[in-house]
Chains A and B, each alone.
Chain A
Amino acid sequence: MTIKTALMAGTATALIALAGQAMADAHAVHPVTGQALASEQVFTYRVLDDFPSIDPQLIQDVSGSEVARDLFEGLMNEDAEGNVIPGVATGFEVSDDGLVYTFTLRDTAKWSNGDPVTAGDFVYGIRRAADPATASEYAWFLEVAGILNASAVTAGEMPLEELGVRAIDDMTLEITIDAPRPYFPQTSTFPTLFPAHQATIEAFGDNWTDPENIVSNGAYTLSEYTPQEKLVRVRNPMYWNNDATIIDEVTALIINDENAALTRYLAGELNMTDIPAGQYPRLKEEYPEQAISFPNSCSYYYMFNMSDSGPEALADVRVRQALSLAVDRDIIVENVLAGGQRAAYTFTHWAIPGWEVPDIPMANMTQAERNAMAVELLAEAGYGADNPLSFEIVYNTSDSHAAIAVAVSQMWKQTLGVEATLANQEWATFLDTRGEQNYEVARGGWCADYAEPSTYLDLFTTTSSYNDGKYSNAEVDALMQEAKLASDPLPLYQRVEEIAAADAAIIPIYHYASVRMMSENLENWPTENLLQNWYSRDLYISASE
């Protein structure tokens, strides 16, 4: 071959390769939706703060869990609606008493270094979460999942081997729980229960999650992590279902300031960011396709200090009722927040799957009726112009909490003549104040750990360590106990909400919504998944028309 023909042959090959590439780009479509795919499949989103950890057994925050669900894979995953679907396990069987779950693992699942993912890796991971030596703050999640002996193992009273998890063989995992918990399979989608690669963790200790050390079994591997700046993950060629993954690279940019994040979104640096409070109506008008709002499973409420250290007036149910009735939720939702949130008269988020909000009298009244009733109740309790009530509302420092507290104090003053002073505290101080019942009325926000009403309603039980208002009602405690074993707990949960509403245990104010800017070509975002458990491998970027 002469140099010239060699060159020609080379050029021809290159041209063919190029053409092939172009063809592939032009014709690449999503297998399900049939939408044309963009040639560059890169997804960049904003996170508020740096990740306290990306070690699955130590993760305790939402954004850390998002990273973990990309880097690792648990027994089960969630689909776009939040249903539990196979992950590393192809499925599971439950014993008749509902206590023993047997998971069958797929034999194609591999770690990023090529090792097979075995039942032993899950045993190691789950034991690691419970191990007192790991000192995971999220060890309590194993108790939520109900894994047998979890609390005793974490307390160091039982050896790790007593934990209710064992490998029958490499491909079969058995988990024993302490009571039938219909939501148990969903807890396996949570990072605390993810598998861990023992050899890597033992070799690198606390540094095993560094990009150069980490071995993971998810659809992505960690390629770069600069604290307080960004975290980048790329496709894991070893992932068993890598062929179905479309997004090649995912970047989480850590941007503390939400307005700076919005500016960078508008400059095209991000595919997704949160909308700062109050800006949704304006952005919706300007960018109707990009500004979106969908339910997010958290509830916002005010709690009363009903313990001995609390004011005497708050021990009177009529006073609590009056204070709750006088809060015009519609004004807060429509004028203060204006981001698609919903007024709340009960605690459990309205969008929890299978949940039916019970009929609460207050919810069906007009605000004028509520105000009239509130005035009446307060007078009955012996408070009014001659015996005025005054409270302090404590909340953690934030513009939107302040705006709501101002609105509520105005409503109380106008309707009831109640004087409310506002006190904001920095987060850790606030939690301390609330946890030690050094307050009168305090702001609360609660997010679901799993998509079932008990994740909220447990807070109404006397023994709940999250019950900072020290509300206590024996009937509620009994109902919640009964619900654990009931085949259909819904009516029990509804009854609990009715009692809590009648007792005015808290003032439910609104149910959260996620309010975001999202690029028009970012597809398949699971807005129906209430807990917002999303997986980058389900997303794709469509070609712009």
Chain B
Amino acid sequence: MFSYIIRRLVVAVPTLLILIIISFVLMFAAPGGPFTSERALPDAVMANVMERYGLDQPYWKQMFDYVTNIVLHFDFGPSFQYRDRTVNDVIAQGFPVTLTYGFWSFVVAIVVGVSLGVAAAIRHNTWLDYLAVGISIGAQVLPNFVMAPILLLVFTLWLGWLPGGGWNGGQWNYVIMPVIALSTSYMASIARITRSSMLEVLNSGFIRTARAKGLPTSRIIIRHALKPAMLPVLSYLGPAFVAMITGSVVVDVYFSTGGIGQFFVNSAFNRDYSVIMGITILVGALTILFNLLVDIAYAWIDPKIRY
């Protein structure tokens, strides 16, 4: 097991490097640059700016310097768009925000999603099942860019219960709407996966045995059925967790949370090369990490799996 983890971590390094190279190539292949503007800059001005950011160097040199700075100094460079900030500043400010609402969205999505899925499976083909399936399909088809403005209309304009946006250091009433908007579709997916996997487990032999032994239903569900039923959910959770904690541009745009999703999308539009790279590497590293954690958890849940 231990050697497996080490092996996976070692493989992560070339994976990240390939990610960096591909991102660099795509980034420089995109037309325009960070200093393209409606008013073409005078040559002298452009030369100064390019020199300041090292963009006058050959591509290979830029990439080499970039990787060297990360490895040696953990320095992701200055932002090209936000002149007063570095990429480290941008991530340090935006990532905690995203992490907070992403984490709570994850908790809400799991708790509500798993409960709905389990309830639907146990009361298969009853009104409860239909209700749960109805809710999850509804939540799945309602995209968050529709959900967010509706939440805003209802809770801010009509009821006046919640502030319409901002983050305010993560005060609870600012976090609620982002969490609802972000968690719904994940919650729906989790509910559907849980329901079908639970149904399968409930029909399997060992559950029948447990029932035959006369165990109470609640005990069968919690002690015996839930754990194996969670396996497919788990493989979904790894990437879902990374997606949630690295933010949603929709949430950031509608609720002005200042999270990282917005920076990521804007950096692509602004050709803010260093921010694009910084966040790409962050997301890439987190994806690798959480996929590894999921695999470890697999082995823990399912004794049949050996590494």
Q: A431–B253 contact, CB under 8 A?
A: no
Q: Do A55 and B258 form a contact, CB below 8 Å, given A135-B49, A137-B37, A431-B38?
A: no
Closest chain A residue, CB of each to CB of B51: A135
Q: B83–A55 contact, CB under 8 A?
A: yes
Closest chain A residue, CB of each to CB of B78: A206
Closest chain B residue, CB of each to CB of A226: B258
B236 → chain A closest CB, angstroms: 30
Q: A140–B41 contact, CB under 8 A?
A: yes
For chain A, the count of residues having a C-beta within 8 Å of the partner chain is: 55
Q: Can you identify 9 A-B contacts, CB atoms within 8 angstroms?
A: A137-B45, A154-B42, A227-B85, A229-B257, A260-B149, A269-B164, A427-B32, A431-B37, A446-B38
**Chain A residues whose CB sits within 8 angstroms of the CB of B259 once the complex forms:** 228
Closest chain B residue, CB of each to CB of A154: B44
Q: Do A429 and B32 form a contact, CB below 8 Å, given A137-B37, A466-B40?
A: yes
A257 at the interface (CB under 8 A from B): yes
Closest chain A residue, CB of each to CB of B265: A256
Interface string of A462-481 (1 = CB under 8 A from B): 00011000000000000000
Q: A135–B52 contact, CB under 8 A?
A: yes
Stretch of B18-26, B107-115, B123-131, B150-158 at the chain-chain interface: B150-158
A-B pairs with lowest CB-CB distance, top 9: A428-B32, A155-B44, A264-B164, A228-B258, A135-B52, A229-B258, A53-B83, A432-B31, A135-B48
**Chain A residues whose CB sits within 8 angstroms of the CB of B254 once the complex forms:** 257, 260
**Chain B residues whose CB sits within 8 angstroms of the CB of A401 once the complex forms:** none
Q: B37–A263 contact, CB under 8 A?
A: no
Q: Which of A50-91 contact B (CB under 8 A)?
A: 50-55, 58, 60
Task: Point out the residue from A54, A206, A254, A263 that lies within 8 Å of B256, measured CB to CB.
Answer: A254
Closest chain B residue, CB of each to CB of A430: B32
Q: A264–B156 contact, CB under 8 A?
A: yes
Closest chain B residue, CB of each to CB of A438: B31
Task: Point out the residue from B30, B152, B165 that lies within 8 Å of A253, measured CB to CB.
Answer: B165
Q: B166–A230 contact, CB under 8 A?
A: yes
Task: Point out the residue from B30, B157, B255 that lies within 8 Å of A429, measured CB to CB.
Answer: B30
B270 → chain A closest CB, angstroms: 7
**Chain A residues whose CB sits within 8 angstroms of the CB of B93 once the complex forms:** 226-227
Q: Which of A211-257 contact B (CB under 8 A)?
A: 226-230, 253-257
Task: Point out the residue from B30, B43, B84 that lies within 8 Å of A206, measured CB to CB.
Answer: B84
Bound-state CA distance A523–B142 (Å) is: 42
Closest chain A residue, CB of each to CB of B270: A428
Chain A CB count within 10 A is highest, among B42, B44, B156, B163, for B44
B269 at the interface (CB under 8 A from A): yes
Q: B83–A58 contact, CB under 8 A?
A: yes
Chain B CB count within 10 A is highest, among A226, A465, A466, for A226
Chain B CB count within 10 A is highest, among A58, A229, A427, A429, for A229
**Chain B residues whose CB sits within 8 angstroms of the CB of A256 once the complex forms:** 252-253, 256, 262
Q: A140–B149 contact, CB under 8 A?
A: no
**Chain B residues whose CB sits within 8 angstroms of the CB of A427 once the complex forms:** 32, 269
Bound-state CA distance A421–B81 (Å) is: 33
Q: Which of B40-74 contact A (CB under 8 A)?
A: 40-45, 47-49, 51-52
For chain B, the count of residues having a C-beta within 8 Å of the partner chain is: 56
Q: B39–A140 contact, CB under 8 A?
A: yes
Task: Point out the residue from A49, A132, A253 that lies within 8 Å of B166, measured CB to CB.
Answer: A253
Bound-state CA distance A209–B152 (Å) is: 33
Bound-state CA distance A35–B94 (Å) is: 43
Closest chain A residue, CB of each to CB of B155: A267
Task: Point out the residue from B41, B149, B160, B258 that lies within 8 Å of A227, measured CB to CB.
Answer: B258
Bound-state CA distance A260–B163 (Å) is: 12
**Chain B residues whose CB sits within 8 angstroms of the CB of A267 once the complex forms:** 156-157, 160, 164
**Chain B residues whose CB sits within 8 angstroms of the CB of A228 once the complex forms:** 94, 252, 256-259, 262-263
Q: B156–A263 contact, CB under 8 A?
A: yes
Task: Point out the residue from A254, A266, A269, A431 that lies within 8 Å of B32, measured CB to CB.
Answer: A431
Known: A154-B42, A154-B44. 11 other contacts (CB 8 A): A52-B81, A53-B84, A140-B41, A140-B42, A156-B48, A228-B263, A263-B156, A266-B157, A431-B37, A435-B36, A465-B42
A51 → chain B closest CB, angstroms: 8
A13 at the interface (CB under 8 A from B): no
**Chain B residues whose CB sits within 8 angstroms of the CB of A134 once the complex forms:** 48
B33 at the interface (CB under 8 A from A): yes
Closest chain B residue, CB of each to CB of A435: B40
Bound-state CA distance A226–B256 (Å) is: 11
Bound-state CA distance A156–B42 (Å) is: 13
Closest chain B residue, CB of each to CB of A64: B83
**Chain B residues whose CB sits within 8 angstroms of the CB of A229 once the complex forms:** 166-167, 256-258
**Chain B residues whose CB sits within 8 angstroms of the CB of A435 once the complex forms:** 36, 40
Chain A CB count within 10 A is highest, among B39, B51, B52, B258, for B39
B35 at the interface (CB under 8 A from A): yes
Bound-state CA distance A337–B37 (Å) is: 25
Bound-state CA distance A51–B40 (Å) is: 20
B90 at the interface (CB under 8 A from A): yes
B271 at the interface (CB under 8 A from A): yes
B28 at the interface (CB under 8 A from A): no
Closest chain B residue, CB of each to CB of A264: B164
A191 → chain B closest CB, angstroms: 13
B130 → chain A closest CB, angstroms: 34
Task: Point out the residue from A154, A207, A431, A433 that lies within 8 Å of B48, measured CB to CB.
Answer: A154
Bound-state CA distance A505–B84 (Å) is: 40
B82 at the interface (CB under 8 A from A): yes
A271 → chain B closest CB, angstroms: 14
Q: B83–A156 contact, CB under 8 A?
A: no
A225 → chain B closest CB, angstroms: 9
